[in-house]
A = this chain, B = another copy of it.
Amino acid sequence: MQTVEQTRDWLLSRARVPAATEAVELLAAAGRVLAQDLVATLDVPPCDNSAMDGYAVRAADATAALPVSQRIPAGSVPPPLLAASAARIFTGAPVPPLADAVVMQEQAEVQPDGSVRFTAPVGAGQNIRRRGEDIASGQTVLACGQRLQDADLGLAASIGVASVQVYRQLSVAVFFTGDELVEPGTPAGAGKIYNSNRYWLVPALRALGCQVLDLGIIPDTLAATRQALRDAAAQADVVMTCGGVSVGEEDHVKAAVEAEGELQLWKIAIKPGKPLASGRVGEADFIGLPGNPVSGYVTFAVLVRDFLRARMGEVVPAWQPLYHLPAAFDWRKPDTRREEYLRVRVAQQGGQLVLQRYPNQGSGVLTSCAWADALVRLQPGQLVQPGDMLPVYTL
């Protein structure tokens, strides 16, 4: 058996960054992976501007009532401030040359003659947002390999960028093996079960931004599996299967991949999980998930998702817990040889955040994955007592 870390490292080391990139308009770029450094060609904000609705003044003049010499809405270009005067100014409007402070209107009293008097001391620089304080021209605002989140797109817009160069979308072909499988919506005869893997895997791939080619259930024969692999590899960057990678003689995926390309078959020290296949069919990468839905789901979260992210060009951060929280459960029969990934929820208990585990952590219980927020990672042989601080990972 090899460790989870060894497997992650192997997969990540083989994740080729896509060769092709494309220009995409900002509003279509959410969730895409940036294929360029984005460098600002201007300052944000472009000039000193008011953080408040109020009055722009020279602080030194502001001890006396001041006549209002101009009015500066946002978007206008003010002339210099006349000596010993105030300018009515609005949030975001440029501070006029020679002014050095803004007084918020709640601290200004308009006098009967139209002048303003200030009710609090005025300090030079107050309530002014400085040119370039958010972004300075020449600064790298977003880096190649970042997956673009909503705030990133706002940031790109703020430097005037209307489209960005992103990596081409990854196409992933999936199929499912097992003569016991039937699709939901059709009756399941005796001995049959519904194909649940398709219904979590396809949305999970789409959520990553993959274009999914869904080939459905393939008959459990070597010939059909080889044909499906060839079809899939001809059309997609990555081919993924669920099932057919364990040691049993009914599993044809292993033999089919070996016949059509190259296969690495691993026993990984992970529970739920253990078998995972990787390799190549034609020009496509191959990933074979275990057919058991819980094993497949956890293996995808722990090992495969970050491989796909890297394969999309994303710079994947170091694998570390999100945080630690105390267990509100015990775990008395640890696996002695494999890491265990328990499906847990964060809950309030006595005013404190704690981890609850789904009662039945069996590998046949997909309910545990739907119920859970996160995974707890246990070392081989690790017992858990209530109160133990446990590392929490993304499910």
Contacts from A to B (Cβ < 8 Å): 26-27, 30, 42, 44-47, 49, 51, 53, 73-77, 90-94, 105, 129, 133-135, 141-142, 149-163, 178-181, 183-186, 188, 190-204, 206-207, 214, 246-250, 291-293, 297, 318, 320-325, 346, 348, 353, 360, 362-367, 369-370, 392
Contacts and interface: CB of A to CB of B under 8 A. Distances in A.
A154 B91 contact: no
A346 B323 contact: yes
Given A74-B178, A90-B250, A158 B293 contact: yes
A46 B182 CA distance: 13
**Closest 3 pairs between A and B when the two form their complex, measured CB to CB:** A162-B185, A75-B180, A154-B200
B149 A292 contact: no
B158 A196 contact: yes
B153 A51 contact: no
A74 B178 CA distance: 7
Contact of A196 (B73, B74, B155, B291): B155
Contacts of A183: 162
A247 B161 CA distance: 31
Which of A51, A135, A320, A322 gathers the greatest number of chain B CB atoms within 10 Å? A322
Contacts of A297: 151, 154
A291 B51 CA distance: 12
Contacts of A184: 26, 156-157, 159-162
A46 B193 contact: yes
Contacts of A155: 196, 366-367, 369-370
B193 A154 contact: no
22 contacts: A30-B206, A46-B193, A73-B250, A76-B191, A90-B248, A90-B249, A92-B292, A93-B180, A129-B362, A133-B364, A134-B365, A134-B367, A150-B199, A151-B369, A154-B199, A157-B184, A157-B198, A157-B199, A158-B193, A159-B184, A321-B353, A324-B353
Nearest to A162: B185
A364 B192 CA distance: 60
Contacts of A346: 322-323
B203 A153 contact: yes
A197 B151 CA distance: 9
Given A154-B197, A160-B186, 20 more contacts: A26-B199, A73-B180, A74-B178, A75-B192, A92-B178, A92-B291, A94-B191, A105-B248, A129-B362, A133-B360, A133-B364, A150-B201, A152-B370, A155-B196, A157-B195, A159-B184, A160-B194, A162-B184, A323-B325, A324-B353
